[in-house]
Amino acid sequence: MHDEAPGAKPSVAAYTAPSAGAALEPTTIERRPLGPHDVGIAIHYCGVCHSDVHQVHGDWGDGTFPMVPGHEIAGVVTEIGADVTRHAVGDRVGVGVIVGSCRDCGMCVQGLEQYCAKSVETYAAIDRYHGGEPTRGGYSTHIVTDEHFVLRIPDSLPLDQAAPLLCAGITTYSPLKHWDAGPGKKVAVLGLGGLGHLAVKIAHALGAEVTVLSRSERKKDDGLRLGADHFHATDDPATFDLLAGTFDLVVCTVSSRLDVDAYLSLLANGGTMVYLGITDEPLGVSVFSLLRGRTSLAGSQIGGMAETQEMLDFCAEHGIGADVEVIDATRINEAFDRVRHGDVRYRFVIDASTFES
């Protein structure tokens, strides 16, 4: 970071969307001065999440502009505040979806910071804990973050493959753990994209019997390579007859409108369908689909800090990283367009060194 005087706000290179729907462009932003509990991080890689695309295009209507996206951040610690105890200069670290929470409510005390009513997202939010300024994400060369929200990336995980774990990885790991995916459990992963490909890897490593449900068989070879035991095309109506009453857990990673009742019919008695993909369209569900087998329809978002660290350690132990296509900053807008059309296998990751090019 370029900091000319003690206490000054460091200026760093970044890519920003000046307004909703605008193309991202190179710029310079200021980071806050390092506080006593802060960690300064040189970003090496940042993943491109589908939510970045939604936020930049104003699909959810609550973003702040100009916007610097990015919440799948992997890099190296360059400086630490005087009271930092969790990290040291030179550590390999990551920052995910949130960079602040109240730390006192029932959710925070349970290690569920992601559900804190006063949590602060890594970008497109107002940082109530540091002067009320807008947060800016990882499409940048550097970031300053409270140590509590900085994760250790094990040495065996390549940083480019680790970056998407900070969102896509924990978003899938958390519900798989919560609903006890493991030996003896049948798990279906609906959709094989950025989230889905990691859900398959993680569910397989947990010991579950894994089935991929995708519209066609176009990605069948990939699904089986990633660790799925079975692959079925949902465009074939016979799939729903064949698999009726089969799964203990259906993990929905798609963000398009679905016939939810059809997928609920695939659950075994007491099974759960959990939504991870975000759609702003209402879900049409018949109560009879839930009564039929005491089934549940649920949602889940990322994980707390302790669980996210647990996920990173688990992925390192099992050799799990994201399948990535590394790009330079000049290709961000192209990548956004390809993400909107599902044209990536399976996560774009930006080389942060190119933000200054």
Predicted local distance difference test score (pLDDT) of residue 128: 95
Q: Residues 65-104: pLDDT tens digits? A: 999 999 999 999 999 999 999 999 999 999 999 999 999 9
Q: How confident is the model at residue 57 (pLDDT cuts 50, 70, 90)?
A: very high
CA separation for the pair 307, 182 (Å, rounded): 17
Look over the chain and give the mean of its residue pLDDT values, rounded to a whole number.
95
Residue with more model confidence, 355 or 282: 355
pLDDT of residue 279: 81
pLDDT of residue 151: 98
pLDDT (mean) for 40-67: 92
- How many angstroms separate the CA atoms of 156 and 279, rounded? 35
| 197: pLDDT strictly greater than 50 | yes
- Model confidence at 257, pLDDT cuts 50, 70, 90, reads confident
Q: How far is CA 4 from CA 7, 75, 151, in A?
A: 9, 23, 28
The pLDDT value given to residue 8? 67
Question: Looking at the predicted structure, is the pLDDT value of residue 62 above 80?
Answer: no
Residue 322's pLDDT is: 98
Strand 230-233 to 209-214 pairing:
parallel
Q: What pLDDT is stored for residue 219 in this prediction?
A: 96
What fold, for 11-167+323-356? Quinone Oxidoreductase; Chain A, domain 1 (3.90.180)
Provide the pLDDT for residue 278.
86
The pLDDT tens digits of the residues spanning 226-247 come to 999 999 999 999 999 999 999 9
Please give the average per-residue pLDDT across 208-214, as a whole number.
98
What ranges do the domains of the chain cover? Answer: 11-167+323-356, 169-299
pLDDT of residue 61: 78
Q: What is the CATH superfamily name and number for domain 169-299?
A: NAD(P)-binding Rossmann-like Domain (3.40.50.720)
Q: Whole-prediction pTM value?
A: 0.95
pLDDT of residue 216: 94
Please say whether the beta carbons of 129 and 102 come within 8 A: no
Tell me which H or E stretch contains 102: none
**Predicted pLDDT of residue 63:** 78
- pLDDT at res. 280: 78
For the cut 80, the answer to whether the pLDDT of residue 64 exceeds it is yes
- Dist CA 252 CA 202 (whole Å): 15
State the pLDDT at residue 4: 46
The CA distance from 151 to 305, in Å, is: 8
Q: Please say whether the beta carbons of 74 and 46 come within 8 A.
A: yes
Q: What is the pLDDT of residue 357?
A: 66
pLDDT at 7 over 70: no
Q: Which of 13, 74, 20 is nearest to 47 (CA)?
A: 74
Q: What per-residue confidence (pLDDT) applies to 3?
A: 45
- Judge contact between 7 and 33, C-beta under 8 A: yes
Confidence of residue 334 (pLDDT cuts 50, 70, 90): very high
Which of 2-11, 14-23, 249-258 is least confident?
2-11
Residue 256 pLDDT grade (very low, low, confident, very high; cuts 50, 70, 90): confident
> Is it true that 11-167+323-356 and 169-299 share their CATH fold?
no
